[in-house]
């Protein structure tokens, strides 16, 4: 059920059917190599959430494509020279304020469980902090977050294992698609599951195929420059480390051979897992008791 498509009179029934659960996708606008759109994170997460909602009734809140943590982009001096067009960097205080006010408004409309579905790696720390911030002022609803998809499920070796155990459910895949998955299963997982890489390309193919430019798969290099390795080796966190190692905002091998069919398979796997999470949260009110009784740690 899509929030924006419901008539006012339908909300009461939607809240009952969803068990009070409303989900909201959080992505961002940023570069993902030259073969994917800058809205990659937001649109793929939105697509997966909508597929999962077909399997298990929840209400999907409208995705704000620009909302997400790419705050460092705000200080980029010259997008044309750097090749960094399309980024939208929002003040971190604004991000937290908007997230809280959206959650408050969702709850005011009758939902008592809000699950944020993250579709951008740069949001993880922000969301960990945000769900803690939600404990500062007592709420009458539960705020949680999880991934819109899970990379451990989407590493090519894992995908092959799932497909081979249920081959009839993945009849969209050709023999050539299976060979491509087998090829990528042989490389270190990080070279297939990285930013803008094989798995992320597949998810965009599976949700918005017309936005993928396969002729640009090899336009830029996604291998590390190792410029910031000296910091990472000593477990030092630094805001510029990742972008210094991956200046093309691409991490891993070029996704040559990736297809829409492979994308449909990965979206199916991701949506099925999300649907299981939705069902569990709908049927279990323990999180609401924790909000009422618990002391956050």
The CATH number covering residue 49 comes to: 3.40.50.10310
Fill in the DSSP letter of residue 61.
Answer: P
> Can you tell me the mean pLDDT for 178-185?
97
Q: What domain range includes position 31? A: 3-149+272-293
**In the predicted model, what is the mean pLDDT of the chain?**
94
> Can you tell me the mean pLDDT for 69-84?
73
Contacts of 47 (CB under 8 A, 6+ apart): 203, 206, 207, 208, 267
Same domain? 109 vs 168: no
Check residue 274 and give its pLDDT.
Answer: 98
- Name the token pair of 229: 């390795």
- 7 vs 13: CA distance, rounded Å: 11
Residue 83's pLDDT band, with cuts at 50, 70 and 90, is low
In this prediction the pTM is 0.95
Same domain? 185 vs 79: no
- 106 vs 39: CA distance, rounded Å: 24
Same domain? 10 vs 121: yes
Same domain? 276 vs 259: no
Same domain? 105 vs 46: yes
Same domain? 139 vs 235: no
Check residue 108 and give its pLDDT.
Answer: 98
Residue of 10, 102, 8, 118 whose CA lies nearest to 61 = 102
> Can you tell me the mean pLDDT for 170-195?
95
Same domain? 7 vs 58: yes
> Each residue of 114-129: pLDDT tens digit?
999 999 999 999 999 9
Same domain? 54 vs 98: yes
Residue of 184, 39, 14, 251 whose CA lies nearest to 109 = 14
CA distances from 2 to 14, 38, 51 (A): 10, 24, 11
- 199 vs 206: CA distance, rounded Å: 10
pLDDT at 222 over 70: yes
pLDDT at 38 over 70: yes
Residue of 221, 211, 201 whose CA lies nearest to 263 = 201
Check residue 71 and give its pLDDT.
Answer: 79
Check residue 276 and give its pLDDT.
Answer: 98
Q: How many CB atoms lie within 10 A of CB 6?
A: 13
Task: Report the number of distinct structural domains present in the chain.
Answer: 2
- 158 vs 188: CA distance, rounded Å: 13
Same domain? 179 vs 236: yes
Residue of 271, 275, 272, 278 whose CA lies nearest to 20 = 278
Residue 52's pLDDT band, with cuts at 50, 70 and 90, is very high
* Percent over 90 (pLDDT), the chain: 88
- 146 vs 51: CA distance, rounded Å: 16
Residue 219's pLDDT band, with cuts at 50, 70 and 90, is very high
Same domain? 156 vs 129: no
Same domain? 27 vs 142: yes
Check residue 189 and give its pLDDT.
Answer: 85
Residues counted in the chain: 297
The burial class, CB within 10 Å (0-12 / 13-18 / 19+), for 138 is: exposed
φ/ψ (deg, to 5) at 165: -85, -15
> Can you tell me the mean pLDDT for 16-36?
97
pLDDT at 94 over 80: yes
Check residue 81 and give its pLDDT.
Answer: 61
> Each residue of 113-168: pLDDT tens digit?
999 999 999 999 999 999 999 999 999 999 999 999 998 899 999 999 999 999 99
Same domain? 138 vs 27: yes
pLDDT at 295 over 80: no
- Name the token pair of 177: 């698609």
């Amino acid at each position: 059920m899509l929030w924006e498509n419901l008539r006012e009179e339908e909300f009461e029934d939607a809240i009952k059917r969803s068990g009070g659960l409303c989900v909201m996708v959080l992505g961002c606008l940023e570069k993902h190599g030259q073969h994917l759109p800058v809205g990659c994170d937001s649109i793929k997460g939105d697509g997966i959430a909508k597929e999962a909602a077909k399997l298990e009734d929840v209400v999907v809140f409208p995705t704000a494509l620009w909302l997400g943590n790419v705050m460092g982009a705000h200080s980029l001096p010259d997008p044309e020279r750097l090749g960094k067009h399309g980024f939208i960097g929002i003040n971190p205080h604004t991000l937290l304020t908007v997230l809280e006010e959206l959650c408050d408004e969702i709850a005011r409309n009758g939902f008592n469980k809000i699950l944020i579905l993250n579709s951008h790696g740069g949001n993880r720390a922000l969301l960990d902090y945000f769900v803690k911030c939600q404990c500062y002022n007592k709420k009458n609803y539960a705020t949680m977050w999880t991934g819109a998809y899970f990379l451990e499920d989407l590493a090519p070796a894992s995908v092959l294992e799932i497909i081979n155990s249920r081959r009839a459910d993945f009849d969209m895949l050709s023999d050539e698609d299976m060979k491509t998955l087998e090829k990528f299963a042989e490389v270190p997982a990080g070279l297939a599951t990285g930013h803008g890489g094989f798995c992320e390309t597949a998810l965009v193919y599976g949700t918005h195929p017309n936005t993928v430019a396969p002729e640009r798969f090899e336009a830029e290099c996604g291998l590390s420059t190792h410029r910031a390795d000296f910091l990472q080796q000593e477990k030092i966190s630094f805001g510029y480390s990742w972008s210094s190692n991956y200046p093309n905002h691409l991490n891993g091998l070029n996704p040559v051979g990736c297809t829409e069919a492979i994308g449909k398979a990965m979206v199916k796997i991701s949506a099925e897992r999300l649907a299981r999470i939705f069902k569990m949260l709908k049927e279990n009110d323990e999180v609401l008791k924790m909000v009422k009784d618990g002391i956050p740690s």
